[in-house]
Amino acid sequence: MKNSRFLLPLVWLTIFASSCTTNTTDPVDLPKGEFEDGVLIMNEGAFGVNDGEVFHYDPATGVIKENIFRTKNSRPFGGLIQDMVEAEGRLYLVANTGKVEIVIPKDFSLVGGVSLGLDNSRSLVSVNQRLFISDWGPYDGDFNNPDSYIAVVNDLNGGPIAKKIPVSSRPEGMIVAGNFIYVACSAAKKFDVISIASETLAASVAVEGTPSEFLQIEGRLFLYATDENNVFFHEVNPGNYTVVKTTKIPLTNPTPIIALGEGSEVFVVTSTGWPDYDDAVAKVSVNNGQVTNPSFYVGNGIYGIGFKIEGKEIYVAEHNGFQGNGSVFILSPLGILVKTLTVGKGPSGFIFK
């Protein structure tokens, strides 16, 4: 070390000075919140009972904490949970019974919500300190939804609806890309494009199949859609919202229930539906345009799926006929059962911390 004999007195002086003063710039290690690690499990609840809830699972200890919304806020959620979105330091619980509850993710304490003016809310994105909530709108006499909309709320903690942007029928998943919000509209078989600046509809584009969700795959924007015998991955140019390529992969009885795996791999749930529920999880490769494994997992009543990057585990949720508790099966990357969890009614989604 150069000039070490001059450095030593300087070190002593620094130690003495720091012992006499308080350093306010040093980071303080705050204790982690109760739910900052682990897995949040969304349980939709049973129709007519509106008993949706969230469970927390700690893989390190194996402990499951039930009904954490009710436990932390001293009241039941009181709805059917359709989506669970973490953004802007908040967790948004979107109920298809027409409300959004907003909690702090680390402890699930309630900070706000949207409870007036929604009909059948489906999902949510946040941008520029505003919330944009996709909603099917009311049913008409034929159980269609011709008056679907995106509800705009001008506060991240919720409050009144400032505006409703009319969109194509039955908006589902959304994604923010550049200056636009992309909306998958299932009944219309279109995706709509909302200008963030003007809060108006900029475009409406017809696609093959029934769209349900947008995905970012290896830096590219895709719209996922299905028909009875195929899955479609429509690659969208976010600059001019045109479909630049469609990858069509033959797969029987695909559903909107998917999870993005590694690279361009996507897990897709297939199902014959009620009453048999002959279900499976298939693996498809978007880049290769093929099914790599049609029956990675075979089950009954599969209602949700998630991919945990750490450990590359796959979480598969089954509703068990909505008769009591559902189940979550944790699978290894090879599809081997690692653990079974007993959870709430209608488990359908996960957030991995």
Which CATH number do you get for residue 98?
2.130.10.10
94 and 127 housed in the same domain: yes
Does residue 197 belong to any structural domain of this protein? Answer: yes
pLDDT of residue 272: 94
CB 185, CB 169: distance < 8 Å:
yes
Total-model pTM: 0.91
SS (H, E, C) the chain: CCCHHHHHHHHHHHHHHHHHCCCCCCCCCCCCCCCCCCEEEEECCCCCCCECEEEEEECCCCEEECCHHHHHHCCCCCECEEEEEEECCEEEEEECCCEEEEECCCCCCEEEEECCCCCCEEEEEEECCEEEEEECCCCCCCCCCCCCEEEEECCCCECCCCEEEECCCCEEEEEEECCEEEEEECCCCEEEEEECCCCEEEEEEECCCEEEEEEEECCEEEEEEEECCEEEEEEEECCCCEEEEEEEEECCCEEEEEEECCCCEEEEEECCCCCCCCEEEEEEECCCCEEEEEEEEEECCEEEEEEECHHHEEEEEECHHHCCCCEEEEECCCCCEEEEEECCCCEEEEEEC
Residues 109 and 63 in one domain: no
* Sheet bearing 337-342, strands edge to edge: 302-308, 313-318, 327-331, 337-342
- 71 and 92 belong to one structural domain: no
Instruction: Say if 223 falls within a structural domain.
Output: no
Domain boundary among 191, 217, 243: 217
> Would residue 274 count as lying in a domain?
yes
Beta bridge partners of 306: 315
CA 89 → CA 93, 129, 189, distances in Å? 13, 12, 33
Residues 129 and 174 in one domain: yes
Residue 128 within any structural domain of the chain: yes
pLDDT confidence of residue 30: 67
For residues 182 and 288, membership in a common domain is answered with: no
Which residues are within 8 A (CB) of 95 and not within 5 positions of it... i.e. 6 or more apart?
52, 77, 79, 80, 81, 82, 101, 121
Query: Do 178 and 297 lie in a common domain?
Result: no
Instruction: At 274, list the tokens.
Output: 């009620």
Q: Which residues contact 175 (CB under 8 A, 6 or more apart)?
A: 125, 181, 182, 214, 216, 221
Boundary-marking domain end, from 158, 191, 217? 217
pLDDT at residue 31, as a whole number: 75
Residues 315, 212 share a domain: no
Q: Is residue 57 part of a domain?
A: yes
- What's the structural domain count of the chain? 2
Query: In this structure, is residue 335 part of a structural domain?
Result: yes
39 shares its domain with 106: no
Domain finish residue from 165, 191, 217: 217
Could you give the CA distance from residue 217 to residue 219 in angstroms, rounded to a whole number? 5
The sign of the torsion formed by the CA atoms of 353, 65, 307, 47 equals negative
Q: Is residue 43 part of a domain?
A: yes
Q: 351 pairs with which residues across the strands?
A: 40
Q: Is 176 in the same domain as 257?
A: no
67 with 137, same domain: the answer is: no
- What is the residue-level pLDDT of the chain in tens, covering all 353 positions? 444 333 333 333 343 344 444 455 556 666 789 999 999 999 999 998 999 999 999 999 999 999 999 999 999 999 999 999 999 999 999 999 999 999 999 999 999 999 999 999 999 999 999 999 999 999 999 999 999 999 999 999 999 999 999 999 999 999 999 999 999 999 999 999 999 999 999 999 999 999 999 999 999 999 999 999 999 999 999 989 999 999 999 999 999 999 999 999 999 999 999 888 899 999 999 999 999 999 999 999 999 999 999 999 999 999 999 989 999 999 999 999 999 999 999 999 999 99
Domain of 98?
A: 88-217
* Tokens standing for residue 345: 């009614």
112 lies in the same domain as 60: no
User: Computed from CA positions of residues 80, 138, 157, 350, in that sequence, does the dihedral angle turn out positive or negative?
Assistant: positive
- Do the domain assignments include residue 24? no
Question: Domain check: are 54 and 135 in the same one?
Answer: no
